[in-house]
Amino acid sequence: MMCDNDRINAALLTLHGESTDLIHSHLRVPEIRVNDLELWPLTFYREYVSKNVPVLLKGIGGKFPAVQKWNTEYFMKVIPEKTVNVAITPNGYADGLNFINNEDCFVMPEEKTMKMKDFLNTLDEQKENYVCYIQKQDSNLTEDFTELLPDIECEIDWASKAFDKTPNAVNFWMGDERAITSMHKDPYENIYCVIDGYKDFILIPPMDLPYVPYKEFPVKRYKNVTPANFEVESMTCHNSLTWIAIDPLNKKESLDLYPQFEKAHIYNVRVQKGDILYLPSLWFHHVQQSHKCIAVNYCYDMDFDIKYCYYKMLERLCNFN
Ligand SMILES: O=C(O)CCC(=O)C(=O)O
């Protein structure tokens, strides 16, 4: 007789086998060029959104004036005195795992406001132990960078048509090549546009949840980060946080600790200047970038549809609460 655990493991293996055969056999994000924007919202919805699979749209952002204009020199000329909110860490790992005092901790960055010209100079200087990233995900493009809005759209017309809504947040990203966004997932349909430089995404589909280990970590925050020094303080409001325990850049060590990670379907995709990545809701993603890379992303609330219901069931089967 099969016990409950055997039955659950057999069911999870069926999900893995079927999804490998039917969806993840190539481990390549399709790259396409869209010629007919009239028909694209329907095709986009039918081929990618409804199937919850990513797609890389080559060159489709090239028509934004931002792609021709934005770079360090342009920002130095047009918004040098602008106050910007910057995440600062000694090593680029903001909101991610850091090994501190002999234990892995989830560490938040120090957040500082500074003039845009000082931020840009910091990127030029690339000092040791001082990594800056504009990474606020609170619609900072439309709320804070209003001077830049003539160069870019406040929504992506074809995406708003396909999702039948406007974006919930439009974010501006710019930073040091050492800045890394650790593996996580979001309840958003993400339309991610690279304006200058490139971004390297590592993606894992949501149905691989059984092979993406989570663990509880103490939460800390970097404080008084300078090129010479930094401190780490404990957070009084949250003692611990459950976070993804593997690092795809350190695969060997991750596999030694969590051998089940071997089964995860891993996609690598580089998003170049002028390209747009559709990153579907609940996909795990880890992000690196070229130095001074500039990006804008549009977050659309996901639909809480039948796929979401199945995902919640999978969470329960994997022992999430
Ligand atoms: O660009 C990045 O560093 C991270 C992007 C990201 O995590 C997101 O858009 O959800």
> Does ligand 1 have an atom closer than 6 angstroms to the CB of 89?
no
Say how many Å lie between the CA of residue 171 and the centre of ligand 1. 9
* Residue ranges in the chain assigned as alpha helix (H): 4-22, 40-44, 65-69, 72-78, 116-125, 140-144, 157-163, 251-257, 306-317
The CA distance from 303 to 47, in Å, is 16
CA-nearest residue, atom 7 of ligand 1: 181
Residue 119 Cα to chain centre, angstroms? 22
Q: Does residue 120 have a pLDDT over 70? A: yes
Q: What is the pLDDT of residue 4?
A: 85
Contact, 87 vs 132, CB < 8 A?
yes
Pairing of strands 169-175, 93-94: unpaired
> Does ligand 1 have an atom closer than 6 angstroms to the CB of 285?
yes
CB count in 10 Å sphere of residue 260: 14
Pocket probe for ligand 1: among 190, 275, 301, the residue whose CB has the most ligand atoms within 8 Å is: 190
Q: Does residue 1 have a pLDDT over 70? A: no
Say how many Å lie between the CA of residue 4 and the centre of ligand 1. 38
Report the b/e string of 169-181 with b at 16+ CB within 10 A: bbbbbbbbbbbbb
Say how many Å lie between the CA of residue 5 and the centre of ligand 1. 36
CA of 179, closest atom in ligand 1: 3
CA of 285, closest atom in ligand 1: 7
Q: What token pair was written down for 76? A: 């130095």
CB count in 10 Å sphere of residue 309: 10
Percent of the chain that is helix, strand, coil (3-state, to 5): 35, 35, 35
Q: Does residue 321 have a pLDDT over 70? A: no
> Does ligand 1 have an atom closer than 6 angstroms to the CB of 111?
no
User: Residues near 53 by Cβ (< 8 Å), separated by ≥ 6?
Assistant: 23, 30, 205, 280
> Does ligand 1 have an atom closer than 6 angstroms to the CB of 186?
yes
**What pTM did the predictor assign?**
0.96
Q: What is the mean pLDDT of residues 263-285?
A: 98
The predicted-structure confidence for 78-92, as pLDDT tens digits, reads as follows 999 999 999 999 999
Contact, 60 vs 34, CB < 8 A?
yes
Residue 3: pLDDT band (50, 70, 90) is confident
Rg (C-alpha) for the chain, rounded Å, is 20
DSSP string over 40-106? HHHHHIIIIITTT--EEETTGGGGSHHHHH-SHHHHHHHSTT-EEEEEEESSSEETEEEEETTEEEE
Say how many Å lie between the CA of residue 181 and the centre of ligand 1. 6
> Does ligand 1 have an atom closer than 6 angstroms to the CB of 200?
no
Say how many Å lie between the CA of residue 3 and the centre of ligand 1. 41
Pairing of strands 83-89, 131-134: antiparallel
The predicted-structure confidence for 149-207, as pLDDT tens digits, reads as follows 999 999 999 999 999 999 999 999 999 999 999 999 999 999 999 999 999 999 999 99
How many distinct helices (H) and strands (E) make up the chain? 9, 19
Pairing of strands 169-175, 293-301: antiparallel
Q: What is the mean pLDDT of residues 257-283?
A: 98
> Does ligand 1 have an atom closer than 6 angstroms to the CB of 281?
no
Say how many Å lie between the CA of residue 297 and the centre of ligand 1. 8
Please give the angle made by the CA atoms of 87, 104 and 282, to the nearest 5 degrees.
65
